[in-house]
Structure 1
Amino acid sequence: MFRLIKNEMNKIDIEKEIMNSNEEYNTIAFDKEFLKEEDIFKEHKEAEELDIERYLVKTGEEYIGILNYGMSSPRFQKPWLSLIAIHKKYQGLGYAKKLYMAYEKLMKDKQVSCIQIAVHSTNEKALNFWTSLGFIKFDERTYEGKVFFSFEKDLS
């Protein structure tokens, strides 16, 4: 159903289009509706520093989303899902849940026993989504002036 395409600097326009279709998320995460090329470059640099694998998600000939994850989170050294973003025109079709389930299967195949995520405390849509998938809040922290909730899901 999905193909994961390595997200590299030469695909920055695709990533920017997907991210900029999600103005509400951008406002929560970046304090602006639309990201510029330099914002995407900054995300790539941070991902490299944190050893995050970055993928564009394709179905058919269409790029529909982004999946970013790491195998060792900076705070807890556990596998973590950094980002799932679905292009606005493909939202409401079940793609986020299906993409998450594909990611969870990938982690189970790697014999991962749990997955962690951090969610902006003000992102109600995301908080509802992740808790509906079985994630449980275990921590709260402030980073760069924003409150995040840390969640974990047991895969064993």
Structure 2
Amino acid sequence: MLTLVEISENLLQAEMEILNSDPYFNRVSFDSEVMSPEDLARDKENGARLGAERFLVREGEGFVGILEFIMLNPSDNCPWLGLLQVDKRLQGQGYGSRILGLYMEEMRRRNVAVFRIGVLEGNDSALGFWRQQGFEDVITARTVVNDREKTVFVMEKKINEQGQY
């Protein structure tokens, strides 16, 4: 069973291990294969300004991923799933879909009918995953990610009353 654990300072090492398990994602997102503690602090500060909620995803005694979302993006007034990252060593085992389901259940409890994500250009595996999950393209835009301008594919997903997708 997957559960969300609010990230605290004593879980920083577990968070860094998951973030740095996927050099490809880091290269696309941060232009570096390794995310430093300073990069993480900056990323969290940016999220905090938007009211982001950030969690480690636990299964049993171990952590399998990270989930971060905001309930209201000031640019479009929509909830956004900002980060769903599965430990690279566990990818391909269904964790991404299961974490997405957990997130969607939480959004249904909060009476959210639709939410958005942004997929950075060059992250082709993520783009394929999200399309496979039924996300629809909304717009392609330029945005600033970690002080760098990047192209992002904005996608959205509707949640039905049962929280299914």
* Counterpart for residue 15 of structure 1: 15
- Asked whether the 8 Å contact 1:120–1:147 carries over to 2, the reply is yes
* Counterpart for residue 153 of structure 1: 157
Deviations 1:87-111, CA, capped at 9 Å, x for gaps: 1111111001011011111111211
Distance 1:3 1:14 in 2: 15
Deviations 1:1-52, CA, capped at 9 Å, x for gaps: 1111101233221111100001000000000000111111111211111100
* Counterpart for residue 90 of structure 1: 90
The answer to whether 1:72 aligns with 2:72 is yes
Distance 2:26 2:139 in 1: 23
The answer to whether 1:122 aligns with 2:122 is yes
* RMSD, matched Cα: 1.1
* Counterpart for residue 32 of structure 2: 32
Identity value in percent:
33
Farther-moved stretch of structure 1 (134-143 vs 49-58):
134-143
Deviations 1:72-95, CA, capped at 9 Å, x for gaps: 013211111000001111111100
Number of residue equivalences: 156
Q: What's the secondary structure of 2:72's corresponding residue?
A: coil
Gaps of 5+ in 1: none
Distance 2:99 2:72 in 1: 20
Distance 1:132 1:62 in 2: 27
Q: What's the secondary structure of 1:111's corresponding residue?
A: coil
Q: What's the secondary structure of 2:130's corresponding residue?
A: helix
What is the TM-score with the length of structure 1 in the denominator?
0.96
Distance 2:54 2:106 in 1: 14
Amino acid at match of 1:28: V
What is the TM-score with the length of structure 2 in the denominator?
0.91
Q: Which runs of 4+ in 1 moved over 4 A?
A: none
Gaps of 5+ in 2: 161-165
Q: What's the secondary structure of 1:130's corresponding residue?
A: helix
Amino acid at match of 2:71: M
Amino acid at match of 2:86: I
Amino acid at match of 1:99: I
Amino acid at match of 1:101: G
